[in-house]
């Protein structure tokens, strides 16, 4: 019998109205949003009615996505769907850790709010940009990055897709080099050079925040972006390193399959992670939950 992994969506998948249907149909999902609103009033309204512009601001994006990600997983659990593994992309890792019991729901939400503020502040101190590079190998992209002093490979998404981050002008020149060697660079609509050395100050801020919390051992394996392996005893170290280091997503997916995962359920808005699973793994089942329709379809598929 195969195993199931819940995957928690990351920044960039947000949209106005996300989570509203889950809130209306699932008591477990409703509790996630209501708890968040008691800590950060207006979070629920931002998810359900915030403009695209409002939701694209990092200090809003991350708390809102955390809620939708966790609400989707709780709604699945409420329907009797269990996971043997969890992993989240970037900010989704905080939702995965909360689902896995490392954070309490309140602590996880408070931490993601601090994370969002710290990353937005770091982006203000060191303005940067990001771009996805297609049609080149990881090694080719890494070699191109070495031609520049402030451009780094940051998100190893799937075969043939590596995201880079860096200083804006250098990144523009980097994208031109990508075209010269036959690749394609697609600028991303983000507000900073996330998962790069430009996030050093955010990592230091989070180190101080984590000293105030008592993290618990995970109740199931939660895979870390920083290592592509399950969290162990150094959760604080991994969480701080994560914001300034590459996301090893392809490696994470391959490790999950090697451990017996053959069903991957994306929890949260959009289907970006589902697409990355499809491009990385063969012979697996890919499902997702973000609203009533996808929740019903996923439960039906698993029972069928």
Cα–Cα distance measured from residue 90 to residue 70, given in angstroms and rounded to the nearest whole number: 14
According to DSSP, the β-strands at 128-134 and 161-167 are antiparallel
For residues 9 and 269, is the Cβ–Cβ distance under 8 A? yes
Terminal C-alpha separation, the chain: 15
Q: Specify the DSSP class assigned to residue 199.
A: G
Check residue 178 and give left, alpha or beta (phi > 0: left; psi -120 to 50: alpha): alpha
Active site residues: 90, 195
Q: Which candidate, 118, 140, 260, places its Cα nearest to that of 199?
A: 118
**How many distinct helices (H) and strands (E) make up the chain?**
14, 9
Cα–Cα distance measured from residue 161 to residue 275, given in angstroms and rounded to the nearest whole number: 12
Residue 115 CA, chain-centre distance (Å), reads: 13
Phi, psi of 282 (to 5 degrees): -115, 155
Q: Specify the DSSP class assigned to residue 2.
A: -
Cα–Cα distance measured from residue 177 to residue 279, given in angstroms and rounded to the nearest whole number: 25
């Amino acid at each position: 019998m195969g195993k199931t992994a819940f995957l928690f969506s990351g920044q960039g998948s947000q949209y106005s109205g996300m989570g509203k249907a889950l809130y209306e149909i699932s008591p477990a999902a409703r509790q996630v949003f209501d708890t968040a609103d008691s800590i950060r009033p207006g979070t629920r309204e931002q998810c359900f009615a915030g403009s695209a512009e409002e939701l694209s601001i990092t200090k809003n994006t991350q708390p809102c996505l955390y809620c939708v990600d966790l609400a989707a997983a709780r709604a699945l659990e409420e329907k009797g769907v269990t996971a043997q593994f969890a992993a989240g992309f970037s900010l989704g890792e905080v939702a995965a850790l909360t689902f896995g019991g490392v954070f309490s729901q309140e602590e996880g939400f408070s931490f993601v709010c601090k994370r969002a503020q710290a990353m937005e502040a770091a982006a203000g101190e060191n303005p940067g940009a990001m771009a996805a590079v297609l049609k080149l190998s990881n090694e080719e992209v890494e070699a191109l990055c070495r031609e520049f002093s402030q451009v780094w490979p940051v998100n190893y998404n799937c075969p043939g897709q590596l995201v880079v981050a860096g200083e804006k002008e250098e990144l523009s020149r980097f994208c031109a080099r990508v075209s010269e060697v036959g690749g394609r660079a697609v600028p991303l609509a983000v507000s900073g050079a996330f998962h790069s050395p430009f996030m050093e100050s955010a990592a230091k801020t989070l180190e101080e925040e984590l000293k105030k919390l008592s993290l618990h051992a995970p109740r199931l394996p939660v895979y870390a972006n920083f290592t592509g392996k399950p969290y162990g005893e150094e959760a604080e170290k991994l969480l701080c390193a994560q914001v300034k280091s590459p996301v090893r997503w392809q490696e994470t997916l391959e490790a999950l399959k090697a451990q017996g995962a053959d069903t991957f359920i994306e929890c949260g808005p959009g289907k970006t992670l589902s697409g990355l699973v499809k491009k990385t793994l063969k012979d697996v089942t890919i499902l997702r939950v973000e609203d009533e329709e996808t929740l019903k379809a996923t439960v039906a598929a698993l029972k069928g």
